[in-house]
Amino acid sequence: MVKQRHNSQSGLPEIWRRLKKDKAAVISMFVLLAIILVAVLAPLIAPYGYEVQDKKHPMEGSSRAHLLGTDRLGRDILSRLLYGARYSLAMGFIATAISAVLGIILGSVAGYYGGRIDNLIMRFLDIYQGIPMILLTVTLAAVLGPSLRNAIIALGVGFVPGTARLMRASILTVREKEYIEAAKSVNARDAYNIIKHIIPNAIAPVIVSITMGIGNCIMAGAQLSFVGLGVQAPIPEWGAMISDARNYMRGNPTLALYPGICIMLTVLAFNLLGDGLRDAMDPRLKN
Amino acid sequence: MGEKILDITGLKVEYHTDGAIIYAVNGVNLSLYKGETLGLVGETGAGKTTIARSIMRILQTPPAKLCGGSINYKGQEILDLSEKEMRRIRGNKIAMIFQDPMTALNPIEKVGFQIAETIAVHNKITKAEAEKRACDMLEMVGIPMERYGEYPHQFSGGMKQRVVIAMALACNPELLLADEPTTALDVTIQAQVLEMIQNLKEKLGTSVILITHDLGVVASCCDSVAVIYGGQVVEYGNLEHIFDHPTHPYTIGLFNSLPKLDSGETRLKPIKGLMPNMKELRPGCHFCERCNDARECCKTLSPETVEISPGHIVKCHFAKKEVESWPHSLKSNI
Amino acid sequence: MIRYVVKRLLIMIPILLGISFIVLILIDLAPGDVARTVAGVEAEDWEVEQVREQLHLNDPLIVRYGRFIWNAVHGTFGTSFINKKDVMHDMMSRFPYTVLLATLSVTIAVFIGIPIGVYSSTNQYTWKDNLAIFLALFCVSMPPFWFALLLVQLFAVKLGWVPSAGVASWKSWFLPTFSLAVAYAASIARQMRSNMLEVIRQDYIVTSRAKGLHEGTVLFRHALKNALIPVIQTVGGLYSMALGGALIAETIFSMPGLGSYSLTALTNRDYPAIQGSVLFLSTVSCTMILLIDIVFAFVDPRIRSQYARTRKKAGKGAAKRGKAEA
């Protein structure tokens, strides 16, 4: 069999080139950019404020004044959806950032130093993951007190073990490789080693995981708001909107439909992008 | 010479990948006689494994495409057989040994079972009988039959390769394709495995195609040699032809690049350049870029295959020219 | 194998102890004065102090921890603040529902996900595969609670095929189970597909074809079995997720399980109930993962032989001899 020449230069330009070929990933990137724009520009583009109540027209379907209708307090659904993007994205990005940083540090230390430190961290992660994740985040959010900030903390804490283990596994794989031996043999200091050589090579699967993690955080955050443990009224986080709409599903099913679609599109976009990133970073897996 | 059991003519294989086509095998002619060991020599990527896998038709056919030529096995045209007929031949009449014993065995099945499976597929016998024959094969390759129920990870590299050999020879095939069977093993184990293949070959009357890049292996095991370059046979002959009168510049280059212990030279003499990019089928000789004797005609005209002495074939424009030959005495150093 | 089981059981003890510690200090994590929150904003100071004594909040941490463990082992978690009933008693009567929900969801997910994953992998590059991948991602991106509401709208309200809440009949289990199972099935399908694709490229698959085996045998006997092994561990993780998902599902579908109990306790700061249910659910989760890991170790011969206690006597000697040679 012809051995294909090693063309997997996985430098950034090469990865970007491969990513561009994945149509789903490209569409997702545009969608995400659009959502981020919407979130940032919400005060400018939303026809109403998110708590403005039109008391004369509650629970109405779409009309000229309210393109997607109103909720039970007469608030404009479209505006609330647009503002909602801010909170969902904020939860997703910040919580993922927290868990990513903590997870990468934990995983790197465990993977690089090995031995007793590794054992200790792994036992700690075992305890951590002994509690089902949803239960952990809900419990933390409840105990700390329901608010956006606490929800973000709870989510950030909850997602740490997954990232940590992935980082550790990735580092263990990279550590075996010979070029680390080479660097060590030239007496490079530990921190230098980790930062310059190991992390860049080990980080690829973690980046994929983080991308999809943002989507998962958004979904978990919506779930928290749905049960009342996340943002508080009248903040129009998408999950909270679904919770609001729940009692009126019989008469007005679209009320719950729109926010759910928003969540789904956002999460789907992150997942497609993550998949595309994975294929772009390691094309061997695809072919 | 016995009867001719394998006759390959004009074999062409392409690999269709993301946009590019790789011309892996470009018109290969080979013959194999009963009881003969033919060595296929060449660098990585020359097309040797592709040729072997084409004979058994186990190429991955989405990327690979058998697009020309004929493979005649004892009167049957391999490329025309149905998949069902092919299955009856694989493992049964034609068998293959792979390069890396570490990955050639299914890690979650017992070693004995994997041998017995081959036997059971090709023979209408009971399970117990298949197991018994598998045990016999294990003994034949020097593994105690008590280890029937063990798993591959419980064996060392050399022993795994023996299991692979046992699996390949279990149904007493007429043709054995050995794809670099010793490359992944230690030198000491290499000798043992090669010796075992020789013994079994003599005992069972198998014909062998031995793929290797190691001229030493060729010298100790093969009756005839085909030198493969750029998906073509550039030189073919018996052992004396190739070792005493290497003619093609590539073959000479191969011998020259071997380190010589007694010549006083201090630098290695590699063949300059790299294998050509097989994505472009240029006209002319594939070796001309690296050839010290290349002329204008080499770039445009594909060399003909010339028989420079009975049974010795060379694919070069200047085949009849006098060239240096390898001294007899050095053959024993390999 | 026994050694492995015992080893894992022993490891579970410090894990549960660790979780108990976390559960214990949950009370301390809460902002503000817990005792006051429980006693009520308008309670007198002495009432708050009484509650503080009740909750033993004045004792040193070690003592509280010890007491908690002692009580937990004896099955005592105190009385719920909300309904004044014994926490353990409530939990025991409720947990079967949760376990059943989780088990059913994961089982259905396995039976749907694995065939789809295999099918997708054998049809790589075709529209069937691309559609399957997309659908799988689609299902995984749907918020499960929203999906549940949609299912209720369609199947219970509009079509009336199944009840929308409660556990009155066996039909009541369809929607809750399905709302969880779909996302898990998608997850399993994706993993199965990627495992199969990786396994099919392995050398031993080429070997099995070279032996003349039928393609079906190659796929299902050699490839599939190897590809299934990592999925076992995923199933363990999914079970843990299912226990978490039960919190929401049981609430939406008004099921009298441990999940809805926990959620109510959490939203109402019912600390004894919170402590009890978090510990209980975590124990169930750990136990299930242990069981699945044992299955995993049993199924993969590479791990199994690490813990094999006995070997056939002749085999042992021969193995030693064999290893000493090449």
Sequence-distant contacts of B321-325: CB under 8 A, at least 24 apart: B323/B246, B323/B247, B323/B252, B324/B252, B325/B244, B325/B245, B325/B246
In angstroms, the separation between the Cα of residue A206 and the nearest Cα of chain C is 17
Stretch B140-166: mean pLDDT, rounded? 90
In angstroms, the separation between the Cα of residue B47 and the nearest Cα of chain A is 6
In angstroms, the separation between the Cα of residue A125 and the nearest Cα of chain C is 10
B325/B5: higher pLDDT: B5
Strand partners, B228: B233
Give residue A185's pLDDT.
62
In angstroms, the separation between the Cα of residue A266 and the nearest Cα of chain C is 8
d(CA A154, CA A148): 10
Beta strand B94-97 with B175-179 is parallel
Instruction: Indicate the average pLDDT of chain C.
Output: 85
pLDDT confidence tier of residue A191, bands split at 50, 70 and 90: low
A12/C188: higher pLDDT: C188
Strand partners, B312: B309
All structural domains of chain A, each given as residue ranges with its CATH number in brackets, are: 12-51+70-285 (1.10.3720.10)
B31 token code pair: 């013959």
User: Which tens digit of pLDDT belongs to each residue from A131-184?
Assistant: 999 999 999 999 888 889 999 999 999 999 999 999 998 888 877 765 566 666
Stretch B23-42: mean pLDDT, rounded? 89
Query: Is any Cβ of chain C less than 8 angstroms from the Cβ of A147?
Result: no
For A223, nearest residue in chain C (alpha carbons): C145
Match 């136990």 to its residue by tokens. C287
CB contact under 8 A, A2 and B59: no
Overall fold of domain C91-270+291-315: MetI-like fold (1.10.3720)
In angstroms, the separation between the Cα of residue A4 and the nearest Cα of chain B is 8
Query: Is any Cβ of chain C less than 8 angstroms from the Cβ of A229?
Result: yes
Give residue B331's pLDDT.
38
Q: A21: how many CB neighbours lie within 10 A of its CB?
A: 13
Judged by DSSP in three states, A132 sits in: coil
Of B222, B223, B250, B255, give the one whose Cα is nearest residue B235: B250
Stretch C78-91: mean pLDDT, rounded? 84
Which of A:25-84 have CB within 8 Å of B? Answer: none
Do the beta carbons of residue B224 and residue B40 sit within 8 Å?
no
Indicate if the pLDDT at residue B330 is higher than 50.
no
Give residue A30's pLDDT.
93
Give residue C308's pLDDT.
65
CB contact under 8 A, C203 and B87: no
Report the Cα C323 to chain-centroid distance in Å. Answer: 42
| Partners of residue B49 in chain A, C-beta under 8 Å | 1
In angstroms, the separation between the Cα of residue A235 and the nearest Cα of chain C is 19
In angstroms, the separation between the Cα of residue C314 and the nearest Cα of chain A is 37
Of B60, B62, B59, give the one whose Cα is nearest residue B71: B59
Do the beta carbons of residue B108 and residue C297 sit within 8 Å?
no
Stretch A16-37: mean pLDDT, rounded? 88
Indicate if the pLDDT at residue A5 is higher than 50.
no
Mutate which of A3, A23, A139 to disrupt the C interface (most C C-beta within 10 Å)? Answer: A139
d(CA A115, CA C255): 46
C137 token code pair: 């991602």
| Partners of residue B22 in chain A, C-beta under 8 Å | 2, 4
In angstroms, the separation between the Cα of residue B222 and the nearest Cα of chain A is 22
Give residue C30's pLDDT.
78
Q: Which of A2, A4, A287 sits opposite B47 (nearest CB)?
A: A2
Stretch A30-58: mean pLDDT, rounded? 84
Stretch A231-254: mean pLDDT, rounded? 84
With b meaning 16 or more CB within 10 Å and e meaning fewer, what string describes B126-137?
eeeebbebbbeb
d(CA A68, CA A74): 12
Give residue C156's pLDDT.
84
| Partners of residue C138 in chain A, C-beta under 8 Å | 264, 268
Do the beta carbons of residue C163 and residue C194 sit within 8 Å?
no
Indicate if the pLDDT at residue C112 is higher than 60.
yes
Q: C291: how many CB neighbours lie within 10 A of its CB?
A: 14
Give residue B1's pLDDT.
54
Number of residue pairs across B and C with CB atoms under 8 Å?
Answer: 101
| Partners of residue B105 in chain C, C-beta under 8 Å | 204, 207
pLDDT confidence tier of residue B302, bands split at 50, 70 and 90: confident
Instruction: Indicate the average pLDDT of chain A.
Output: 83
Q: Concatenate the DSSP letters of all residues of C123-172 into one string.
A: TTTSHHHHHHHHHHHHHHHS-HHHHHHHHIIIIIIIS-SS-SSSSSSGGG
Do the beta carbons of residue A175 and residue A112 sit within 8 Å?
yes
Burial of A196 (0-12, 13-18, 19+ CB in 10 A): exposed
Which of C:93-132 have CB within 8 Å of B? Answer: 125
For B57, nearest residue in chain C (alpha carbons): C210
| Partners of residue C315 in chain B, C-beta under 8 Å | 146-147, 149-150
Give residue A283's pLDDT.
62
| Partners of residue B44 in chain A, C-beta under 8 Å | 3
Give residue C162's pLDDT.
84
Q: What is the rounded radius of gyration, in angstroms, for the C-alpha atoms of chain B?
A: 21
Q: What is the rounded radius of gyration, in angstroms, for the C-alpha atoms of chain A?
A: 22
d(CA C251, CA C254): 5
User: Which tens digit of pLDDT belongs to each residue from C24-33?
Assistant: 888 787 777 7
d(CA C214, CA C217): 5
B90 token code pair: 């694989």
Q: Which of A143, A264, A267 sits opposite C30 (nearest CB)?
A: A143
Give residue A181's pLDDT.
63
Of A39, A87, A69, give the one whose Cα is nearest residue A257: A69
d(CA C183, CA C137): 9
pLDDT confidence tier of residue B333, bands split at 50, 70 and 90: very low
d(CA B90, CA A76): 71
Give residue B332's pLDDT.
39
B87 token code pair: 């299955």
In this structure, is the dihedral angle defined by the CA atoms of residues A131, C236, A151 and A276, taken in order, positive or negative?
positive
Tally of residues, chain B: 334
d(CA A256, CA C143): 12
In this structure, is the dihedral angle defined by the CA atoms of residues C249, C254, C255 and C261, taken in order, positive or negative?
positive
With b meaning 16 or more CB within 10 Å and e meaning fewer, what string describes C87-121?
bbebbeebbebbbbbbebbbebbbebbbebbbbbb
B91/B259: higher pLDDT: B91
Q: C299: how many CB neighbours lie within 10 A of its CB?
A: 14
CB contact under 8 A, A135 and C274: no
Of B150, A81, A126, A204, give the one whose Cα is nearest residue C236: A126
User: Which tens digit of pLDDT belongs to each residue from C128-159?
Assistant: 888 998 899 999 999 999 999 999 888 888 88
pLDDT confidence tier of residue C326, bands split at 50, 70 and 90: very low
Backbone angles phi, psi at B4, to 5 degrees: -85, 120
B159 token code pair: 């022993």
For A249, nearest residue in chain C (alpha carbons): C153
Indicate if the pLDDT at residue C316 is higher than 70.
no
pLDDT confidence tier of residue B51, bands split at 50, 70 and 90: very high
Stretch C312-320: mean pLDDT, rounded? 41
In angstroms, the separation between the Cα of residue C83 and the nearest Cα of chain B is 54
Q: A97: how many CB neighbours lie within 10 A of its CB?
A: 16
Do the beta carbons of residue A198 and residue A175 sit within 8 Å?
yes
Match 């279990």 to its residue by tokens. B170
Indicate if the pLDDT at residue C115 is higher than 90.
yes
Residue B2 sits at the vertex; the CA angle it makes with B1 and B8, to the nearest 5 degrees, is 95
pLDDT confidence tier of residue C314, bands split at 50, 70 and 90: very low
Query: Is any Cβ of chain C less than 8 angstroms from the Cβ of A123?
Result: yes
User: Which tens digit of pLDDT belongs to each residue from B183-237?
Assistant: 888 888 888 888 888 888 888 888 999 998 888 889 888 999 999 988 889 899 9
In angstroms, the separation between the Cα of residue A56 and the nearest Cα of chain C is 28
Most confident of B126-140, C76-90, C309-323: B126-140
Give residue A7's pLDDT.
39
Mutate which of A31, A91, A135 to disrupt the C interface (most C C-beta within 10 Å)? Answer: A135
Burial of A273 (0-12, 13-18, 19+ CB in 10 A): buried
Distances (CA, A) of C86 to C4, C81, C206, C321: 37, 10, 62, 64
Query: Is any Cβ of chain C less than 8 angstroms from the Cβ of A36?
Result: no
Do the beta carbons of residue B20 and residue B279 sit within 8 Å?
yes
d(CA B217, CA B220): 5
Mutate which of C29, C141, C182 to disrupt the A interface (most A C-beta within 10 Å)? Answer: C141
Find the range with the poorest average confidence among A197-211, B48-62, B115-129.
A197-211
Strand partners, A75: A53
Judged by DSSP in three states, B157 sits in: helix
pLDDT confidence tier of residue C94, bands split at 50, 70 and 90: very high
Q: What is the rounded radius of gyration, in angstroms, for the C-alpha atoms of chain C?
A: 25
| Partners of residue C269 in chain A, C-beta under 8 Å | 142
Q: Is B156 left (phi over 0), alpha (psi -120 to 50) or beta?
A: beta
CB contact under 8 A, A1 and B50: yes
Stretch C175-195: mean pLDDT, rounded? 93
d(CA B178, CA B101): 12
CB contact under 8 A, B103 and C210: no
C17/A194: higher pLDDT: C17
Mutate which of C125, C204, C211 to disrupt the B interface (most B C-beta within 10 Å)? Answer: C211
Q: What sections of A46-113 are H helices per DSSP?
A: 77-113
CB contact under 8 A, B89 and C212: yes
CB contact under 8 A, A2 and B53: no
Neighbours of chain B (3+ CB pairs under 8 A): A, C
pLDDT confidence tier of residue B320, bands split at 50, 70 and 90: low
Give residue C26's pLDDT.
81
Backbone angles phi, psi at B319, to 5 degrees: -60, -30
pLDDT confidence tier of residue C246, bands split at 50, 70 and 90: very high
Find the range with the poorest average confidence among A43-57, A268-282, B103-117, C65-79.
A43-57
Q: What percent of chain B has pLDDT over 90?
A: 27
Query: Is any Cβ of chain C less than 8 angstroms from the Cβ of B191?
Result: no
Judged by DSSP in three states, A110 sits in: helix
